[in-house]
A = this chain, B = another copy of it.
Amino acid sequence: MATMKQVAERVGVSTSTVSHVINGTRAVSEDVRRRVLATIDDMRYIPNAMARSLKNDKSHTIGVSIPDNTHPCFAELLRGIEDAAFEVGYNIMLCNGYGDARRQAAQLRGLVEKRIDGLILVAGTARNELATLLAGQRVPIVLADHEVPAVETDFIGLDHEATGYAATRHLIELGHRRIACVAGPQAEPHSLERIAGLRRALEEEGLPLPDAYLVYVTPDCAGGHDAVRRLLALDAAPTAVFACNDLMALGGLCAAAEAGVAVPGQLSVVGGDDLGMGAFATPRLSSVAQPTHALGRQLTGLLVGRIRGDGGPRRHQRLQGRLVVRQSTGAPQPR
């Protein structure tokens, strides 16, 4: 691969002249300029960003650590990040942590070695283990959607509590009083926050949440299927279910159909993400849409600002979701 030196030799000028032509950083005679440019083109010279980075201590690369890029929510977040990063000339290095603290630590270490300018971190389940690792690094970090207690830095997330509240409120207003909740693993902060919102809505109306109505499963279709199957088998089955995420809601819809339970006639189901395919489920899923893509963009904007030296107070913000009513929720049927 051609280097700047080779280009310079071929044109018969010094490397500093070539450098200045490339970066437009000082006046160069039109003749030389033209010849340098022509030679660059001819030799297919492409500047070495690593060498450049070594000088100015900026890699124009940001690290992104998420639990799993395959999950639709993270995929959307990642997309928002990539979009915004591209616009401002940054590349992203992707790491999937899978909630494995050891793996995540190894990855972060690698990213720091490669001198990422900043990090967007979705800490996932392994968040506490990361605190020590992160402390004492000079790399700007923006926390996405998962707070890390011991790390004091910018945070932008979704308002999961409000999401749980909005979904439950919707069910209550339809007239439901026997409302159950399908939650992800107990250790998952999001589920916990959404459950808190549900509880708040329930308590406002003096409605109970029996233990049997709160079921923890894996946060995917299989988990949701399992949970709703169990709920429907209860003596006093619920008339409505709030699933903390759409994947579980979709699984729940499947379980209801297989049990011969009409949705929304005998059971209302509301999800919590508004994934694209939920809109085409049978029946079309009501859910609380989250501004995931916007979250990615905002995180990136904030991080790049910090990299460029924006001081300003630590930001701590939660973006609001929006209830989307479709066909999986309705008034409870009188018997």
Q: Residues of A at under 8 Å CB distance from B?
A: 1, 44, 46-51, 53-54, 59, 61, 68-70, 72, 75-76, 78-79, 82-83, 86, 89, 91-96, 103, 107, 109-115, 136-138, 220-222, 224-225, 247, 250-251, 253-254, 257, 276-277, 279-284
- Cβ of A276: which chain B residues have Cβ within 8 Å of it? 220-221
A51 to B57, alpha carbons, bound, how many Å? 11
| A54 pairs with B50, CB closer than 8 A | yes
A54 to B59, alpha carbons, bound, how many Å? 13
Measured CB to CB, the nearest residue on chain B to A86 is B107
Shortest Cβ distance from A223 into chain B, in angstroms? 10
Copies in the complex: 2
Shortest Cβ distance from A234 into chain B, in angstroms? 21
| A96 pairs with B115, CB closer than 8 A | no
Contact of A49 with B114 at beta-carbon distance under 8 Å, contacts A95-B82, A136-B44 already known: yes
| B93 pairs with A221, CB closer than 8 A | no
| B54 pairs with A114, CB closer than 8 A | no
- Cβ of A280: which chain B residues have Cβ within 8 Å of it? 221-222, 224-225, 250-251, 253-254
Shortest Cβ distance from A184 into chain B, in angstroms? 16
Shortest Cβ distance from A219 into chain B, in angstroms? 12
A69 to B71, alpha carbons, bound, how many Å? 11
- Cβ of A72: which chain B residues have Cβ within 8 Å of it? 70, 72, 75
A329 to B259, alpha carbons, bound, how many Å? 20
Shortest Cβ distance from A244 into chain B, in angstroms? 16
A257 to B226, alpha carbons, bound, how many Å? 24
Contact of A279 with B221 at beta-carbon distance under 8 Å, contacts A92-B93, A254-B284 already known: yes
Contact of A110 with B96 at beta-carbon distance under 8 Å, contacts A69-B69, A115-B48 already known: no
Shortest Cβ distance from A176 into chain B, in angstroms? 22
Shortest Cβ distance from A39 into chain B, in angstroms? 15
A78 to B68, alpha carbons, bound, how many Å? 10
A138 to B45, alpha carbons, bound, how many Å? 12
| A277 pairs with B247, CB closer than 8 A | yes
Contact of A91 with B70 at beta-carbon distance under 8 Å, contacts A247-B277, A253-B282, A277-B221 already known: no
A112 to B75, alpha carbons, bound, how many Å? 25
| B113 pairs with A46, CB closer than 8 A | yes
Measured CB to CB, the nearest residue on chain B to A83 is B96
Shortest Cβ distance from A167 into chain B, in angstroms? 20
| B96 pairs with A79, CB closer than 8 A | yes
- Cβ of A225: which chain B residues have Cβ within 8 Å of it? 280
A187 to B70, alpha carbons, bound, how many Å? 26
- Cβ of A96: which chain B residues have Cβ within 8 Å of it? 79, 82-83, 86
